[in-house]
Structure 1
């Protein structure tokens, strides 16, 4: 008896080919997405934490200047009353005069050596003749020297910080002190100078703490006077350290924080951005990438199904090609001559190639964004660090020029940040036109730029810096007027064999140029010569 052979059921050849092609493309998309996400996230993490470090440092310098100015103002007042009878009726009017000319304090008070208030301005609370018992008052009387208090509730029940200066007569006899009060939960000099922080889409903000970790400035006024000394960043500030790091704050929130001390007051500045912001931006980039890729993937699916009906050969070669494609082999080239007789196979391979190249272009675009400044197109700070690290490893001598636009805040205030950005791009164009073929132009942050000049001596770097400075000074910028720039120069390895110190010394030379009147170039070696003298 002959039994009929039962046909073996299986998948259609066209279905198998379509499945392999689509799966290969999806795997390629998945791998590219993961790479793009990680690259973007790492770049944003580094840039955010570096920018917060720069912001904290700049704010600390502003606050340092503010504190020094407060102390000088109080010293002038104390000197005036050194030989004046503190209980004289004219003391109040003179104190009102000093209060009217001082922008720093919400109120001024004179306390004699016995701890009695002899005059206040404004005199609207009838405190004259009273004897405050706050720790700040007692400490000022005990120390008999300039003093900045911790936050405390005054007899008026206001939360304040008091800055005091002793009063001595011409014979050196202690007469008491003059104290300036800053009302922390009301309009005060901090909010005038540092600004009232508006809410941002990133959730970034900054705050100020005193030497004991008490908040003395915070966008949430209800948190002022809270002790946040358990915060690891605040603990470093209490040790006088500066830097930037990821931190879990006192409320259990994950932040990328930059921090810097204010030596004159023992305070510290923290500028921070929520870690979630970085994750959300990275996820949005990937979503946009997927949205951009979706039409191409859909087109690929449609074409694959249509072409698979026509394909019968060469299955082995197409399967090998798809397997290599799914493995991310970037050296893979489209099949042409070997299957040129099969029009359908050529179309399928061309479609796969289009999708693969598009994804590779997006990957390269993400890589370029991670290494360049989006506004000016110059090399960013992260890539600059990689270049200098490589030169140090190779023993390549080089010079660094750090440049900072003078009074750039006035440009933004008068013309708006959009025109400020146009000025930054204009400056970047001048830098690129003056650089050599092996030089690098970088945006260091804000209005600060850097040039790296391999094998350039200090004199050669100064010449380049001066050319750039003069061109900027003599050019009409997009705001219709010229701007000026201060520059600092340092050379590796003559000045330092450590890249970090080299940038620090170049930055010191830059700030010397600022102190000398701006619109000039200062080499660090000239600072060393002045030190020796």
Structure 2
């Protein structure tokens, strides 16, 4: 008996190779995308937590200075009334004077040892002679020393924080106290100094709590006085700790939070960003990468059917490269195609090389965009902070020039924001032309710019600032007219060995230039010399 062997029909080699090519590329892209997504998300998480930690620390220092200044202001007022008869008619006028010169409080009150209100400013609620029975008033009378209350509803039914200073006469006899009230749910010093927080695309915001976990400052005024002591971050603040971490707040939302205490008042500040915002950014980056690579992937799929019979060796090399790429090999060089007798193989390898190298280039461009101001091309504020922090750690002396265009709002109002942007780019070009090889030009925000000059003395920085100022003042800008700028200079570590303070002093010098008439440069050391005189 003769048996016939039926030929087994299988897949064509070209189809198998094409399938392998397509599968390899897709797997490579998926793995690379997953790795890129996880890496990007981790990096963004760490950077966001770190930035919120720095923001909370900076805000705590600002609030610390604010609280100390409030207490000193009250103590000056209390010292004045130490030898004044509190029932005297001129108490009211003097209290009005102190109220008019103090930016810290919504109202001032003098309470005698019997707990009776002697005088208030402003005197628009007819409280003189009344006897408030709040726990804060009783505690202030009992302590006979500086005191900051928890949030409470006053006799006027306002939600306030009371800051007091005791009044003693020259013999040391206690006469009562001067109390400054901060209206938490109205315009107050916190909103003036810390700023009214507008909604942001990131959803980031900060808030202030007292030693018991009660909110005393929050962008949502309805939540002020709410107790949030169950929040893990607030619990650490109540222990006087500072740091940064992921946290689920009392409303069950996930945040990346930084926190720092305000020792002078026993308060704490939290700066936080929703975790979902960071996840969304990571997903958007991956989507952009996939959108960019899609045409190249499609081209590769089409070419694979045509070149399949000649790609055994190139495919092996491609798979090896894809494996190393997906494993995140830092030593991996850009993919290049070997010159082969097989024209089709060369074309395929060239196409794949373009696709992968474009992905690499896009990653580098995204990194550059994260560190550069999109409008002017200058270094952005985030990178500027990293540079100054590094210089401080290395002990590198440097000077800071803060610049602010004078009356820039009128430029936008008269010529439009587009022409205002052209003026900003013009200023950036002038700065770039005046900087040294090791200097950095940064956009600080809005119409504010910064130059960082390593190893530059204050005199050298002032000379650079003056050159920039004069060039701007005498140049015809894109709007067809001249503009001017005011500049402030401070030097590390001569003026301060803290970067935050250094920028604050440079800012003070800049605004002194504004007050002196604008279109001038002022070094902070000259302000210090004037203060000593």
SS in 2 for 1:269: strand
Higher RCO, 1 vs 2 (CA within 8 Å, ≥6 residues apart)? 1
Structure 2 equivalent of residue 489 of structure 1: 492
Q: Does 1:399 align with 2:400?
A: no
Q: How does 1:204-243 map to 2 (within 5 A)?
A: 204-243=204-243
Structure 1 equivalent of residue 516 of structure 2: none
Which digits, 9 at most, give the CA deviation of each residue in 1:501-529, with x for residues without a partner? xx954555565666777856789xxx9xx
User: Which one of the candidate residues 334, 338, 341 is aligned to 1:338?
Assistant: 341
Are 2:402 and 2:507, in contact at CA under 8 Å, matched by a contact in 1?
Answer: no
Structure 2 equivalent of residue 150 of structure 1: 150
Structure 1 equivalent of residue 258 of structure 2: 258
Q: How far 1:119 moved relative to its partner? A: 2.6
Which digits, 9 at most, give the CA deviation of each residue in 1:219-238, with x for residues without a partner? 12232222334444334444
SS in 1 for 2:136: helix
Q: How far 1:371 moved relative to its partner? A: 5.8
SS in 2 for 1:115: coil
**Distance change in 2, residues 1:118/1:482 (3 Å):** closer
Q: How far 1:280 moved relative to its partner? A: 0.6
Q: How far 1:240 moved relative to its partner? A: 4.6
The unaligned stretches of length 5 or more in structure 1 are: 496-502, 528-533
SS in 2 for 1:484: strand
Are 2:50 and 2:258, in contact at CA under 8 Å, matched by a contact in 1?
Answer: yes
Q: How far 1:116 moved relative to its partner? A: 1.5
CA distance in structure 2 between the aligned counterparts of 1:384 and 1:190, rounded to whole angstroms: 25
Q: How far 1:177 moved relative to its partner? A: 1.3
Q: How does 1:94-243 map to 2 (within 5 A)?
A: 94-100=94-100, 102-243=102-243
Structure 2 equivalent of residue 531 of structure 1: none
Structure 2 equivalent of residue 272 of structure 1: 272
**Distance change in 2, residues 1:152/1:522 (3 Å):** closer
Structure 2 equivalent of residue 322 of structure 1: 318
CA distance in structure 2 between the aligned counterparts of 1:91 and 1:383, rounded to whole angstroms: 51
CA distance in structure 2 between the aligned counterparts of 1:211 and 1:420, rounded to whole angstroms: 46
**Distance change in 2, residues 1:320/1:452 (3 Å):** farther
Number of paired residues? 496
Structure 2 equivalent of residue 286 of structure 1: 286
CA distance in structure 1 between the aligned counterparts of 2:391 and 2:115, rounded to whole angstroms: 64
CA distance in structure 1 between the aligned counterparts of 2:77 and 2:388, rounded to whole angstroms: 53
CA distance in structure 1 between the aligned counterparts of 2:96 and 2:422, rounded to whole angstroms: 44
Which digits, 9 at most, give the CA deviation of each residue in 1:31-54, with x for residues without a partner? 332343244334433443343334
Q: How far 1:360 moved relative to its partner? A: 2.6
Are 1:75 and 1:165, in contact at CA under 8 Å, matched by a contact in 2?
Answer: yes
Q: How far 1:471 moved relative to its partner? A: 3.6
CA distance in structure 1 between the aligned counterparts of 2:459 and 2:126, rounded to whole angstroms: 65
Moved more, 68-77 or 265-274: 68-77
SS in 1 for 2:145: coil
Are 1:51 and 1:445, in contact at CA under 8 Å, matched by a contact in 2?
Answer: no
Q: How far 1:9 moved relative to its partner? A: 1.5
Are 1:28 and 1:356, in contact at CA under 8 Å, matched by a contact in 2?
Answer: no
CA distance in structure 1 between the aligned counterparts of 2:209 and 2:392, rounded to whole angstroms: 40
CA distance in structure 2 between the aligned counterparts of 1:136 and 1:162, rounded to whole angstroms: 7
**Distance change in 2, residues 1:475/1:380 (3 Å):** same
CA distance in structure 2 between the aligned counterparts of 1:391 and 1:121, rounded to whole angstroms: 47
**Distance change in 2, residues 1:471/1:184 (3 Å):** same
**Distance change in 2, residues 1:407/1:351 (3 Å):** closer
**Distance change in 2, residues 1:448/1:170 (3 Å):** farther
SS in 2 for 1:197: coil
**Distance change in 2, residues 1:335/1:171 (3 Å):** same
Structure 2 equivalent of residue 530 of structure 1: none
Moved more, 104-113 or 279-288: 104-113
With structure 1 as the length reference, what TM-score do the two structures score? 0.77
Structure 1 equivalent of residue 44 of structure 2: 44
Are 1:473 and 1:485, in contact at CA under 8 Å, matched by a contact in 2?
Answer: no
SS in 2 for 1:476: helix
Which digits, 9 at most, give the CA deviation of each residue in 1:324-362, with x for residues without a partner? 24323645431433313xxx4444333333322322322
CA distance in structure 2 between the aligned counterparts of 1:391 and 1:146, rounded to whole angstroms: 37
Which digits, 9 at most, give the CA deviation of each residue in 1:135-172, with x for residues without a partner? 22122212323222111222333321011122233444
**Distance change in 2, residues 1:423/1:63 (3 Å):** farther
Q: How does 1:495-510 map to 2 (within 5 A)?
A: 505=498
Are 1:303 and 1:348, in contact at CA under 8 Å, matched by a contact in 2?
Answer: yes
Are 2:334 and 2:357, in contact at CA under 8 Å, matched by a contact in 1?
Answer: no
**Distance change in 2, residues 1:404/1:139 (3 Å):** farther
SS in 1 for 2:192: helix
Are 2:430 and 2:468, in contact at CA under 8 Å, matched by a contact in 1?
Answer: no
| Cα root mean square deviation, aligned | 4.2
The unaligned stretches of length 5 or more in structure 2 are: 326-331, 514-520, 529-533
Q: How does 1:359-438 map to 2 (within 5 A)?
A: 359-369=359-369, 376-378=377-379, 399-401=396-398, 403=400, 405=402, 426=427, 430=431, 434-436=435-437
Moved more, 418-427 or 243-252: 418-427
CA distance in structure 1 between the aligned counterparts of 2:89 and 2:194, rounded to whole angstroms: 37
With structure 2 as the length reference, what TM-score do the two structures score? 0.77
Structure 1 equivalent of residue 518 of structure 2: none
**Distance change in 2, residues 1:382/1:164 (3 Å):** same
Q: How far 1:398 moved relative to its partner? A: 6.5
CA distance in structure 2 between the aligned counterparts of 1:183 and 1:465, rounded to whole angstroms: 44
Are 1:402 and 1:448, in contact at CA under 8 Å, matched by a contact in 2?
Answer: no
